[in-house]
Amino acid sequence: MMALSGIERNYNAYEGAYAAQKNGTAQKRAAEKAEGVESRVTTSTVELKTSTPGKTRTEQIKTGYSNVNDYSKYLQDKYSYMNTGTTSMQGVPTTVSVSGAFLKKCMNDPEKAAYLEENLAVIPDCVSHAISHSLGTLTSISIQMDANGNITMMSTGTSDPDGKIARENAERKAKEQKENEEKLEKKRAEKKEQEERLAEMRAEKKAESEALQPHEIIVVGNDVQELTGKMVEAMANPNSAAVSETAGLDLKV
């Protein structure tokens, strides 16, 4: 019985050691799984240019990622404005976009990765410089890096920092509007004057037309001298009652 008890104790100890080893292996595998690509990522120390001409800085960059998503997460931890939509830099809406195809080229190439991070790092300073040295007011900035690493930078804004141009434009428009109103008023006055003159001309023409209307004057009587006077009077005033007035006729047989 004593011998069997010893064997049993030895077996239990072996089983405990095996279980501990198995558990340790499982934990290691779980940790490696949780780390994923990090177990294959390498860190390099490089010299990168800065926004100050001739000045460099030492930076540690990572490469060796097996997929773009993990590489993007690493970069976004360092450069939060990359591929995250529009962000604000000194109050100006700014968008920084890097092509997924270029990220794929960089994630296992330290030289390309250094180029990428070098440019990403100086973006805030470059945006600040653009804002402070702009002759106008910037309203948006966009920085795009294509599949080959070519960079396109675009901006929108106004070229009137102190509102001088806007004021001059407003004054010019007000002056033009006033001149147009004056011209319109002048045209209205001229048109009214023309209408009045036309009305006068029509009235005169009507009067002339009425004065030139053909008429026949007949006077009848037995005294030529008296009839002549009446005819002359009627001719001078065709519309008078004298036109239709007939002198008395005194016939003597």
Same domain, yes or no, for 45 and 26? no
Same domain, yes or no, for 107 and 54? yes
Same domain, yes or no, for 70 and 145? yes
Which domain does 154 fall in, by range? Answer: 41-161
Q: 0.75 exceeded by the pTM?
A: no
Q: How far, in Å, CA of 225 to CA of 234, rounded?
A: 14
Residue ranges of E strands in the chain: 42-49, 56-63, 86-89, 92-98, 137-145, 151-158
Q: Of the candidates 145, 161, 177, which is a domain's last residue? A: 161
Same domain, yes or no, for 191 and 228? no
Same domain, yes or no, for 127 and 207? no
What is the percent of the chain with per-residue pLDDT over 70, rounded to a whole number?
A: 71
Does the pLDDT at position 233 exceed 50? yes
pLDDT tens, residue by residue, 96-130: 999 999 999 999 999 999 999 999 999 999 999 98
Same domain, yes or no, for 140 and 236? no
Same domain, yes or no, for 222 and 207? no
Residue ranges of E strands in 10-132: 42-49, 56-63, 86-89, 92-98
Does the pLDDT at position 95 exceed 90? yes
Same domain, yes or no, for 53 and 107? yes
Same domain, yes or no, for 26 and 128? no
Q: Write down the pLDDT at residue 165.
A: 60
Same domain, yes or no, for 62 and 131? yes
As a whole number, the mean pLDDT across the chain is 78
pLDDT tens, residue by residue, 46-82: 888 887 888 888 989 999 999 999 999 999 999 999 9
Does the pLDDT at position 213 exceed 80? no
